[in-house]
Amino acid sequence: MSTAVMKNAFQSVFRNPRYVLASALISLFMFFIFILVNNSSTFVTLLGLNSPPTLLVEVITNGAANILDASGIALFSSVILVSILSGITISMIIYKRQMTKSFGGKKNLAGFGGIFGGAVSSGCSACSTTVVSILGVAGGLSIFPLKGLEISLLSIGILVASMYFISKGLVESDRCSI
Amino acid sequence: MTLGYFIGNAIPIGSNFQSNNQSSVTNTGVTTDQPSKKIAGSVNFDIPSFAKFKGSSSATINLVEFGDYQCPFCKRFFEQTEPQLYKEYVDTGKVRFYFLDVSILGDDSVTLGQGAWCADEQGKYYEYHDYIYSNQGEENSGWGTPDKVKNLVENIQGLDVEEFSQCLDSKKYESRTEGLTKFSGQLGLSGTPTMFIGNSEMGYTVITGAQPYSVFKEVIDKGLG
C-alpha cells in the first residue's frame, strides 16, 4: 500500500524532467554541504587568507576521500544515500509547494531532521570532539557498534518516512474529499 | 565560531605546562608601541616546555599537531601529508614540527599517550609516534591496552622494553596526557588532528582535520612571508 502511494507520487513528480534535474543538483549540493559543514573551520581559515577557489575545491575532494579512506565504504555510501534522499525529498517538497501552495505540515518537514542528522554524522575529516561533548562520553561515535553509521541509518529512515508522508499528501491532494 | 572567540587572545596555560623558552609568548592582551604582526583569526598560546620537536631550533614557524593515537584521520595525516611537510619545510629548517597527544577516543588513547612520554624518557618520542601510527589498529578495539602497547614497542629499535613497561605501569605521565587533553580543550580543539601553524609573534592559524598538503603549504607560505 505504502509502496504504491510512493510509486504514484514519484511518477507524478519525476515525469517532469525539471524535477529530476533539480533532484540531481540538490543531491550534489547536499553532498558538498555535508563535507563543507564538517570542514568549516578550514574553509574559514582559507577564506581569511584569500586562498584561491581551487584550494577550496581540493578540501572538498579530500574530504570525500577522507570519509572513504578513514571511515570506510559503509559510511561513505550512507553519506551518498543521505545526499540523494535529501535531493529527492526537497524536490518533492518543492513540487508539493507548487501544486498545493502548502509545505504540508510538520510530518513532511521532518525530512529536514534527516538532512541535519546526515550532516552531523558524515563528511568529517577529523575525529570530532563535538559529538563527544554532545553525548557526554569519551569515544564519540566510536562507542557505537557501527561507529556512528547508526546516525546515518536513522537519517535515512527519517528521510524515507518524510518521503512517504509527502507522497501520501500528494496522492490525497489529487482527489476531492467527500 | 571558535576562531572568532580566540581572535587576538592568548590562552592561559596550567601550572604544569611551563612555556618553552623558544616559543613562549606574553600571555596578556597588553598593547605595545610596536606594530602587530598578528594574523587575523589567529590563536595564541604557549607550547608546553616538555614538548618535543622535529626540525631546526632556528625555524621561524612552528607546526603544532594535536592528535589522538587512535584517530584514523591522524594516521591519514601522518601517512599522506607529514612526509611532504618534512621534505619541504621541516628538513629544510623552515618549520619546527611538534606532536602533542590528546585523548578523546577512550582509555586506550590515554595509555598510548602515556606511552609516548615513556618512550621520550629513552629519547624515542618520535620513533614511538611513527611506529604507533604506522601500526594503528581500529578505534577502541583493544590494540592500545597497556599489554598490547608493551608488545608493540618491542619493535622500536633501541628501546628498552623493561624500562618502558615500568614507566607505563607507574602511570607517571597520566596527569600529563590528561593535562594535554584539557589544554587542547582550552584552545578550542574540535577534533583531531588539529594543527596550529605560526609563532608567538604572528599567532597560530588553526587547521582541523586531515587536510591536503596544499592547505598547509598555503598557510605556511603566508606565514613565512
Q: What is the pLDDT of residues A5-51, one digit of tens each?
A: 888 888 888 999 999 999 999 999 988 888 887 788 888 889 888 89
Pick B203 or A129 by higher pLDDT: B203
A95-138 per-position pLDDT tens digit: 888 887 766 666 666 667 667 666 665 555 567 655 544 554 44
pLDDT at A124: 57
| CA A64/CA A38 separation, integer angstroms | 11
Q: Write the CB contacts of B35 (distance below 8 Å, at least 6 apart in sequence).
A: none
- The HSE-up count of residue A139 (CA atoms within 13 Å, CB side) is 15
Which residues are B95's β-sheet partners? B61
**Beta pairing class for A127-128 and B191-192:** antiparallel
Highest mean pLDDT among A70-79, A160-169, B192-201: B192-201
CB contact under 8 A, A42 and B185: no
Assign B15 a pLDDT band (cuts: 50, 70, 90).
Answer: very low
Report phi then psi at B105, rounded to 5: -105, 5
Domain that holds residue A94: 2-173
How many domains are contained in chain B?
1
B44-67 per-position pLDDT tens digit: 899 999 999 999 999 999 999 999
Which residues are B61's β-sheet partners? B95
Whether the pLDDT of residue B3 is over 60: the answer is: no
Assign B36 a pLDDT band (cuts: 50, 70, 90).
Answer: low
Q: What is the mean pLDDT of chain B?
A: 85
CB contact under 8 A, A130 and B190: yes
Cβ distance B54 to B94 under 8 Å? no
| CA B92/CA B126 separation, integer angstroms | 18
- The HSE-up count of residue B38 (CA atoms within 13 Å, CB side) is 20
CA distance B78 to chain A (A): 13
Pick A69 or B88 by higher pLDDT: B88
How many domains are contained in chain A?
1
Domain that holds residue B107: 2-224
Whether the pLDDT of residue B105 is over 50: the answer is: yes
Examine residue A128 and state whether it is found in any structural domain, yes or no.
yes
pLDDT at B55: 96
Pick B93 or B22 by higher pLDDT: B93
Examine residue A141 and state whether it is found in any structural domain, yes or no.
yes
Environment class of B116 (CB within 10 Å of its CB; exposed 0-12, middle 13-18, buried 19+): buried
- The HSE-up count of residue B87 (CA atoms within 13 Å, CB side) is 6
Pick B158 or B26 by higher pLDDT: B158
| CA B125/CA B134 separation, integer angstroms | 14
Which residues are B205's β-sheet partners? B197
Assign B39 a pLDDT band (cuts: 50, 70, 90).
Answer: low
Question: Which residues of chain B are within 8 Å of residue A38 when distances are taken between CB atoms?
Answer: 209
Pick B28 or B79 by higher pLDDT: B79
Q: Which of B194, B211, B213 to mutate to test the interface with A (most CBs of A within 10 A)?
A: B211
Examine residue A126 and state whether it is found in any structural domain, yes or no.
yes
Mean pLDDT (whole number) for B2-28: 38
Examine residue A69 and state whether it is found in any structural domain, yes or no.
yes
Q: In Å, how far are B9, B11, B41, B45 from B5, measured between CA atoms?
A: 8, 11, 9, 14
Pick A156 or B79 by higher pLDDT: B79
Whether the pLDDT of residue A153 is over 70: the answer is: yes
Among A158-167, B64-73, B161-170, name the one with the lowest average pLDDT. A158-167
pLDDT at B4: 31
Q: CB contact, 8 Å: B156 with chain A?
A: no
Q: Which alpha helices (DSSP H) does A39-148 contain, by range?
A: 40-48, 53-66, 73-100, 106-109, 111-121, 130-135
Examine residue A178 and state whether it is found in any structural domain, yes or no.
no
Assign B148 a pLDDT band (cuts: 50, 70, 90).
Answer: very high
CB contact under 8 A, B107 and A147: no
Q: B156: domain CATH number?
A: 3.40.30.10
- The overall longest dimension of chain A from CA atoms, in Å, is 64
CA distance B125 to chain A (A): 23
Q: CB contact, 8 Å: A174 with chain B?
A: no
CB contact under 8 A, B190 and A126: yes
Question: Which residues of chain B are within 8 Å of residue A138 when distances are taken between CB atoms?
Answer: 103-107
Residue linked to cell 594543527: B195
Q: CB contact, 8 Å: A140 with chain B?
A: yes
Examine residue A23 and state whether it is found in any structural domain, yes or no.
yes
Examine residue A11 and state whether it is found in any structural domain, yes or no.
yes
**Beta pairing class for B61-67 and B53-54:** unpaired
DSSP B10-32: BPP--TTSPBPTTT----S----
Q: In Å, how far are A3, A36, A165, B205 from A29, measured between CA atoms?
A: 27, 10, 24, 28
Question: Which residue in A126, A137, A133 sits closest to B106, CA to CA?
Answer: A137
